[in-house]
Structure 1
């Protein structure tokens, strides 16, 4: 059922003023006062805000100046902004998080479809400022620059068709005649959308660490095998291939040990020379060359690449444990060279999930950069680097087909920089940087020097 037809803007604002201002105290109780939001802006900064009523009428949060830009200018007129949030309780299990991620992905795809092509879709994160794991919730901000009535009708139909739990929460934003921004919360009851709450939108202080960090170990950067396995276990009812992957994982011993020969991992973005270096070094050392993800998972990569982050990252994380089992067997008899390993899995997950620019990445020495304790560790990790201009020349010269992540690296320089910085912050083991811009001979000489000095 569509929303009621709108009145002219002046009547709507006057009505909004009458409705909201006398009821401020009552409205404050409709939303948890300790829930905050982080909105990613076009310049890769984050605008933080919260919901409630400040009895003193302050526009700044207590405790100091707020660096958040004017929220009314971001969320208010001209145009209209809507937020769609998927509530997941902090204590919810893995299956609930997977269901929410699937619904979030489906909504994103539909909001980027033809019915909303005139709108802008932006990442929005809801979180508790106490930093407790499980509190972060991925939301969507839909911005309609023209405030067209068809947008609201389309949202009505889209969300009304979401029959399964969790059902998305829908809000929109209004500016009253006094320039204050309010969020109105709507709920679908008996086929009709009813306003069930209203809260004043106020700036919030930026937290010391990105609010998604406490949830990364359960959603993207899995610290051990069982955490990733639980995700795929929750997918077996709707992704048949997940069971096949789990069967392969269950054939791998949970504890494996490296043999007497060295294990060397070569990391780097596409077109940095990984293929050349890995083949040359493996030939010279008479080593076994392995790749992550392993070839046994290759037939299912396209399936899992199209899944939400939590499922996709669990798939690639488990692939590392299959590679570890292969490393353990092969390193008994010969050296092993590995084309990418856990560092790739972790860096791309961090760069994707941590919204905003470089300044929002976890600081150096954060636990998220630590190697999983139950994953076989290599003796040496080399990170090949090439300046962005040279790397793009190589990609265009080779005419290689771009992967989804490669397309993102090309289109979004901030994303590429976050991947590169995350690589450089990895620890235990850390990455040894190798400038792969010089000639092939010079690069290989640098690589050989590092191998000789670190693999005794």
Structure 2
């Protein structure tokens, strides 16, 4: 940790911090002198005697950091005294890739601040953490200071005043999204699984399923059509109908060979979970290449789903928090087989909920999030639309199944010359 911490501390005063409040990020930065500015919004409702703390995960080991981050929340939730407020936060260097680090922000009343400080002092001695305390420095509670707790006894860290910071163009998690939340190469995703084998034995079984490399020897002779969309938009019905009508092979991502481990990796943190789904896409790509030499191929979900859900989950808040259109995060991986056509089934939110209820199936965590969080659903849908190379062609899934099939066949025949 020491080497990684030193690299962070070398530019500490240049970092910007954000605290998520009701999915709205509130930003503040550091400066050596107070110029009479009002306290950042996150400190606005606190009494002068209250204390705040930030706890940021600081480790150069991506696997350890990914596993420890949710564990830290559980530990803090259990051991903090009642009345303490705990929310997610992060810190980043503006426009610097891979500079985003995650953690938690704690608000404590004066009566519990000593208890909280003892808890955090104990944690920082044992875990890869950077901890800061915040206190009002006079001026009627308008001047708040940050004190970074020294990660080693021989270091002195200065106090800084905290002041509001402008909101960046998109959520700063985008700075560290590439090959962390969204994978753009087979090697990067496989490397995650190789490194997590010590803590997740089942990773070895997944590695055994992988092709030797991402590349396919020949481009499929027949068209490859991918069906995308949220659950209950009619993908399963449509893919089966297309298979029968076109005499096509039907494949799914993640592929059936990964089914024994899907539930396990769905419970893992985003880095590992997204790597699992990325590897599933590469296995499916090999299957597509083989089947596509003999017949048209219909694929139930592929890279668009993997990327759209990951991007939407990582950003939070309104659609405006997404990386802008044209961002590299929406670019198709260079080593992944490209389909001939991608169709995105869309459906009114209330109708989709009704269909889900009628199906009566158990929902994944992300599906439950789609139901209760409109902002998340909007981010997912917009991320789908922004992915390029190949882009999604939207299909209205609200008419009858037969009409949707006919509409889809027209698109396939006009775009794929079938």
User: TM over 0.5: same fold?
Assistant: yes
SS in 1 for 2:279: helix
Cα offset, 1:258, TM superposition:
3.2
RMSD (CA atoms): 2.6
Within a 5 Å distance, the mapping from 1:126-275 to structure 2 comes to 126-129=91-94, 131-144=95-108, 146=109, 148-149=111-112, 153=115, 156-157=118-119, 160-161=122-123, 166=128, 168-178=129-139, 179=141, 180-187=143-150, 197-251=158-212, 254-275=215-236
Cα offset, 1:148, TM superposition:
4.9
Cα deviation, 1:316-342, whole Å, max 9, x if unaligned, reads 111100000000011111111111000
Cα offset, 1:48, TM superposition:
1.4
Counterpart of 1:15? none
Cα offset, 1:35, TM superposition:
0.9
Cα offset, 1:123, TM superposition:
2.0
Q: 1: distance between equivalents of 2:46 and 2:389?
A: 43
Q: 2: distance between equivalents of 1:399 and 1:152?
A: 49
Counterpart of 1:281? 242
Cα offset, 1:172, TM superposition:
2.7
Cα offset, 1:265, TM superposition:
0.6
Counterpart of 2:65? 100
Q: 1: distance between equivalents of 2:83 and 2:407?
A: 52
SS in 2 for 1:37: strand
**Residue 317 of structure 2 corresponds to residue 356 of structure 1:** yes
Cα deviation, 1:364-396, whole Å, max 9, x if unaligned, reads 111111110100011111111111111111111
Call closer, same or farther: CA 1:112–1:394 in 2, change over 3 Å: farther
For 2:304, which of 343, 349, 371 is the aligned residue? Answer: 343
Check the 8 A contact 1:31/1:199 in 2, yes or no.
no
Call closer, same or farther: CA 1:385–1:78 in 2, change over 3 Å: farther
Q: Which runs of 5+ in 2 are unaligned?
A: 1-8
Call closer, same or farther: CA 1:209–1:73 in 2, change over 3 Å: same
Call closer, same or farther: CA 1:195–1:81 in 2, change over 3 Å: farther
Counterpart of 1:73? 44
**Residue 399 of structure 2 corresponds to residue 438 of structure 1:** yes
Counterpart of 1:63? none
* TM-score for the superposition, normalised by structure 2: 0.89
For 2:387, which of 417, 422, 426 is the aligned residue? Answer: 426
Check the 8 A contact 1:75/1:81 in 2, yes or no.
no
**Residue 273 of structure 2 corresponds to residue 312 of structure 1:** yes
Check the 8 A contact 2:282/2:336 in 1, yes or no.
yes
Q: 1: distance between equivalents of 2:414 and 2:62?
A: 45
Check the 8 A contact 2:92/2:101 in 1, yes or no.
yes
SS in 2 for 1:217: coil
Call closer, same or farther: CA 1:30–1:363 in 2, change over 3 Å: closer
When the two structures are aligned, how many residues end up with a matched partner? 406
Within a 5 Å distance, the mapping from 1:77-96 to structure 2 comes to 80-88=51-59, 92=60, 96=61
Call closer, same or farther: CA 1:32–1:338 in 2, change over 3 Å: same
Q: 2: distance between equivalents of 1:403 and 1:268?
A: 15
Check the 8 A contact 1:266/1:382 in 2, yes or no.
yes
Call closer, same or farther: CA 1:250–1:333 in 2, change over 3 Å: closer
Cα offset, 1:435, TM superposition:
1.1
Q: Which runs of 5+ in 1 are unaligned?
A: 1-28, 61-67
Check the 8 A contact 2:170/2:320 in 1, yes or no.
no
Cα offset, 1:158, TM superposition:
6.4
Deviates more, 1:392-401 or 1:338-347: 392-401
Cα deviation, 1:159-183, whole Å, max 9, x if unaligned, reads 62566652x1222322233121122
Q: 2: distance between equivalents of 1:424 and 1:326?
A: 26
SS in 1 for 2:177: helix
Q: 2: distance between equivalents of 1:69 and 1:411?
A: 30
Check the 8 A contact 2:308/2:384 in 1, yes or no.
yes
Q: 2: distance between equivalents of 1:262 and 1:226?
A: 27
Q: 2: distance between equivalents of 1:418 and 1:102?
A: 25
Q: 2: distance between equivalents of 1:289 and 1:152?
A: 61
For 1:59, which of 37, 40, 49 is the aligned residue? Answer: 37
Deviates more, 1:267-276 or 1:194-203: 194-203
Counterpart of 1:377? 338
* TM-score for the superposition, normalised by structure 1: 0.82
Call closer, same or farther: CA 1:342–1:256 in 2, change over 3 Å: farther
